[in-house]
Chain A
Amino acid sequence: MSSDKTATEKQYALASIFGPGRDELIDHTPHARHLGIRVVRTGPCEAVLKLPYRAELVGDPTRGVVFGGAITTLLDHASGLAAACAMETFQAIATVDLRVDYLRAAAPGLDLYGYVRCYKMTKNVAFIRGVAYEHDPEDPFASCQGTLMVGANPTASPFTRFNDEGTGETSG
């Protein structure tokens, strides 16, 4: 799922902050902060997030396996960010649907990663797919597919503040 040629030629609204570890991209989201989700990397049409292991995220106490719903949250959040990273102008995003397949149990006690790519952006809809893994995106424990609605009203978008700041440069 690498960047295609047309993707690199486009001008992205969040282009100036693409790169590793821009945590300010999610720090405005109380729930992401609460879970300790960190941004590993963003780029054209894609985002990688990390969900640090915490005992309270466990769903199966006998095996120490993280509850599927926490994985949904990780992938849902990465989906929104991937769609934001595919936008050429700032617009509000709303998730329409998200399906998560649980391929195997996540290894207990490890930090989990979510990698989502927006593989098609139309005027109104963003199409995403992604995976969740412990070490290697080629060996995922979950995969997802979803659609997000791209609105015309930027006021509800948490990303507009990057636009408010002019070039998209942030003070963190």
Chain B
Amino acid sequence: MTNLVEMIPYARFLGVAVERVDGAVQCVLPFREEIVGNQRLPAIHGGVLGAFLELTAFLRLLDESGSTDRIPRPINFSVDYLRSAGPAATTARAEIFKLGRRIANVHVVAWQQDQKRPVAYGNGKFLL
């Protein structure tokens, strides 16, 4: 899975690390100045959080299929911003809500220090 991140320039660009917790892929987005969207708070750029959620959903699906022969393609991705994400590492975990023959529906939650206080929630549909 780490090799996979190495293959995706955008994932490398964000510095995303992949780990496996309780059998499922979990991603970590380290904090750095370049991902700040609002300097006054400061808060991580909403677009970066959305991208990170989408990446996590994508990697979860790839891991599930166990093959890179067929790359899932996103149909759409929706992000709910629940609270502002401060200057700290962000973790995201995806669950495959429905794995159909052609379409997968994936839910993703991201949090910082406290898993019970999520910063963003994502839902994506992917063409398999």
Contact = CB atoms under 8 A, between A and B. Distances in A.
A127 to B, nearest CB: 15
Contacts of B46: 76, 80, 95, 98
Contacts of A57: 9-10, 13
A67 B8 contact: yes
Given A57-B9, A60-B71, A76 B45 contact: yes
Contacts of A31: 34-37, 45, 47-48
Counting chain A residues whose Cβ lies within 8 A of the other chain, the interface size class is: 35 or more
A97 B13 CA distance: 24
Contacts of B11: 67
A29 B36 contact: yes
Contact of B51 (A55, A67, A80): A67
A3 B74 CA distance: 32
A59 B8 contact: yes
Contacts of B37: 29-32, 77
Interface residues of B, number: 36
A68 B122 CA distance: 14
A30 B74 CA distance: 27
Interface in A1-46: 28-32, 34
Contacts, number: 122
Nearest to B123: A99
A101 B33 contact: no
A73 B45 contact: yes
Contact of B54 (A56, A72, A101): A72
B2 interface: no
B77 A68 contact: yes
Interface in A47-106: 55-61, 66-70, 72-77, 80, 94-102
27 contacts: A31-B34, A32-B37, A58-B10, A60-B8, A60-B71, A66-B10, A67-B10, A67-B51, A68-B51, A68-B74, A69-B50, A69-B52, A73-B50, A76-B46, A77-B45, A77-B47, A94-B84, A95-B81, A96-B81, A98-B50, A98-B78, A99-B76, A99-B78, A101-B75, A102-B74, A156-B41, A157-B40
Given A58-B10, A67-B10, 8 more contacts: A30-B34, A30-B36, A30-B37, A55-B9, A59-B8, A69-B52, A72-B54, A97-B80
> Top 4 A-B pairs ranked by shortest CB distance?
A69-B51, A73-B47, A76-B47, A67-B10
Interface of A: 28-32, 34, 55-61, 66-70, 72-77, 80, 94-102, 155-158
